[in-house]
Structure 1
Amino acid sequence: MRFLPPALAAATLALCSPWALADTGKLLLTGGVSSIDGAAGGGLTPWAVIGSNATAREIGASAAATRVSTQDYGLSVVGAAVGVFERLELSAAKQDFNAGPTAALAGLGVTPGQHIKMDIFGAKLRVAGDAVLDSDNWMPQIAVGLEHKRVHAGSMGPVLSALGAKDRGTDVYANATKLFLAQSLLVNGTLRYTKANQTGLLGFGGALGKDSYRLMPELSVAYLLRKDLAIGAEVRFKPNNLEPVGNAVFGANSGALREDSWKDLFVAWAPSKNFSLTLAYVDLGRIAPGLVSGRKQTGGYLSAQIAF
């Protein structure tokens, strides 16, 4: 039996599946969208893909704006990324977190209506595999990356410092993305080495022995309904560093600073090779539940991206 070369096999599969080639030669939506941290992937977690529409001999770029709203909080993100030869991705993002419920901490000097801002600078390197060319075998695309974050907490800064949280940290991650082209299915797994609280918005690490890095998993799955429309789900686990400190301050088992995993269900639409919209239902669990009567934070996510 003769086997097709991988490139020809991938092209053949592409003709038989809903995944469609962009004019640049890159399959629509296989570059993911801009995550809240700026890297290409799903909305909550990076994938091993390199963002933009650039292929192996090209340099491309993308930019995105994102808004997340829950019962008590809001998060706005702007970000951009550059993809170099389908091998290296450099990204930057600016987050603005509306921490309205912190007005309850006015007695500690926290300004009502305080916003917490965070700068994120990332780099991702594809080290093995090709999501499209290896779609006819079990080899995933594998990448390693880092995200350096610095939080500007304003009047919340002294509170975070008292909890043992630092104002900067660097996450390191490795991920594997597998595209099952014929089945129109993409699966991603990420392991993140981190000590970020609420992805860094509440600082990094904590007191009472919670200042160490930990490995946390992140999972994504996406299914293409047609060439320009995908649905999927994500979950991002987080280290929960501040709960012991919160229990020491507010009472044993109070859970006042408990942190939960983040989840979403999303729909991504790419009406053209250069533009995509992502709409999601998000479940961010508890964010400083001691300030909001223990309410879980669920709501909506909307992101618009342009890519070249």
Structure 2
Amino acid sequence: MNHLRTALLLSAAGLCSGLAHADTGKLLLTGGVSSIDGAAGGGLTPWAVIGTNATEGEVGFSAHVSRAATQDYSLNTMGVAVGFKDRVEVSLARQDLDASPATALNGLGFNVQAGQHVKMDVLGVKVKVAGDAVLDSDSWMPQIAVGVEQKSVDAGSITPVLDFLGAKTSGTDFYVSATKLFLGQSLLVNGTLRYTNANQNGLLGFGSKAPGKNEGSWVPEVSVAYLLNKNLAVGAEYRVKPNNLEALGRASGLASGLAEDAWQDLFVAWAPNKHASVTLAYLDLGRILPAITANRSQTGFYLSAQFAF
């Protein structure tokens, strides 16, 4: 994975140097922003749009940084993406989770280090297979894309906890997204169906030993965005999670202590020009390892900046 990350970063640097910049014809914000997994879309879920400013026949580049913070956790993300001819998107994201509350597990015999961070690399590929969100805005035909995200997590001193749960340290998500832009109504609607066995998006590993769920399952994700003007959009997202570990937690006497809830947000995205955008969101990520966070729902804020060419 380190070699893949290096290769993509070098490729992106080459693009950024002026060899293949896109002279965009895209409408502002209709290409989405960078999600936490790196793919273009909303902050929490991918859309069928191809990121960067590249239109047909062009190659484009984007980069983003973001931070999410709740009562008990914080997540920093950075990533890059390359868009080819408005048809193919390749993205890479690095997530860094401050998992300090996990030291509470030491009372159960683990040895989680104070200030432990969990890091995850996400390599994504998305391909547009039908439709065009802008050109087909006067019909009912959505833009449709299929994607894959290969995830690899480094849990540090939390790795023995993943072993106890029967969770693997790598996994692959598959998804199909349909994005419909109603240009006359300034409304964008996206639906994504994801096949995954990731726990908390993969930051808590993938799958579970019995009686938890180890195999993947299909879960829906929905986004709605309203363009107040060409530079400003507001919207909401809802992402269902597979909840693989709750049954294992109940069998282990933890009640709902390993439950995983849906993620949701309310966001505002501002694009002062075609090369930059800023997204601010209010997050409700539900319970994340409620056994060690007093069953608190993790609410907070998300801030992301993206630069695209």
Given the two structures, how large is their TM-score scaled by the length of structure 2?
Answer: 0.91
Give me the identity figure in percent: 66
AA aligned to 1:94 is R
> Which consecutive residues of structure 2, in runs of 5 or more, have no partner in the other structure?
1-21
Q: How far apart are 1:149 and its partner, in Å?
A: 0.1
Distance 2:162 2:287 in 1: 17
Distance 1:25 1:146 in 2: 27
Q: Secondary structure at the match of 1:24?
A: coil
CA RMSD of aligned residues (A): 1.0
Distance 1:27 1:211 in 2: 42
Contact between 1:23 and 1:273, CA under 8 Å: does it hold in 2? no
Distance 1:137 1:295 in 2: 44
- 1:223-254: CA deviations, max 9, x gaps? 00011000000001010001111122234xx2
Contact between 1:92 and 1:121, CA under 8 Å: does it hold in 2? yes
Q: How far apart are 1:57 and its partner, in Å?
A: 1.1
Is 1:243–2:246 an aligned residue pair?
yes
Q: Paired residue for 2:156?
A: 154
Q: Secondary structure at the match of 1:103?
A: helix
Q: Paired residue for 2:59?
A: 59
Match of 2:137 among 120, 135, 138: 135
Q: How far apart are 1:110 and its partner, in Å?
A: 1.1
Q: Paired residue for 2:34?
A: 34
Q: Secondary structure at the match of 1:79?
A: strand
Runs of 4+, deviation exceeding 4 Å: none
Contact between 2:128 and 2:143, CA under 8 Å: does it hold in 1? yes
Is 1:277–2:278 an aligned residue pair?
yes
Is 1:214–2:217 an aligned residue pair?
yes
AA aligned to 1:307 is A
AA aligned to 2:38 is G
- 1:136-180: CA deviations, max 9, x gaps? 100000000000000100011111111110000000000100000
- 1:195-236: CA deviations, max 9, x gaps? 000000000000115111100000000000011000000001
Contact between 2:23 and 2:54, CA under 8 Å: does it hold in 1? no
Q: How far apart are 1:32 and its partner, in Å?
A: 0.2
Contact between 2:103 and 2:111, CA under 8 Å: does it hold in 1? no
Q: Secondary structure at the match of 2:208?
A: coil
AA aligned to 1:64 is H
Given the two structures, how large is their TM-score scaled by the length of structure 1?
Answer: 0.91
AA aligned to 1:305 is Q
- 1:239-291: CA deviations, max 9, x gaps? 0001111122234xx21111000000000000011000000000000000000
Q: Secondary structure at the match of 1:145?
A: strand
Is 1:302–2:303 an aligned residue pair?
yes
Distance 2:61 2:23 in 1: 15
- 1:4-50: CA deviations, max 9, x gaps? xxxxxxxxxxxxxxxxxx96211110110000000000000000000
Q: Paired residue for 2:292?
A: 291
Contact between 2:249 and 2:258, CA under 8 Å: does it hold in 1? yes
Contact between 1:119 and 1:150, CA under 8 Å: does it hold in 2? yes
Q: Paired residue for 1:179?
A: 181
Q: Paired residue for 1:80?
A: 80
Q: Secondary structure at the match of 1:134?
A: coil
Q: Paired residue for 1:261?
A: 262
Contact between 2:275 and 2:307, CA under 8 Å: does it hold in 1? yes
Contact between 2:23 and 2:53, CA under 8 Å: does it hold in 1? no
Distance 2:31 2:174 in 1: 21
AA aligned to 1:285 is G
> Which consecutive residues of structure 1, in runs of 5 or more, have no partner in the other structure?
1-21
Q: Paired residue for 1:45?
A: 45
Q: How far apart are 1:90 and its partner, in Å?
A: 0.1
AA aligned to 2:95 is Q
Distance 2:251 2:110 in 1: 17
Q: Paired residue for 2:228?
A: 225
Total equivalences in the alignment: 285
Q: How far apart are 1:128 and its partner, in Å?
A: 0.2
Structural mapping, 1:100-139, within 5 Å? 100-106=100-106, 107-139=109-141
> After alignment, is 116-125 or 104-113 more displaced?
104-113
AA aligned to 2:208 is G
Distance 1:235 1:218 in 2: 6
Q: Which has the larger radius of gyration?
A: 1
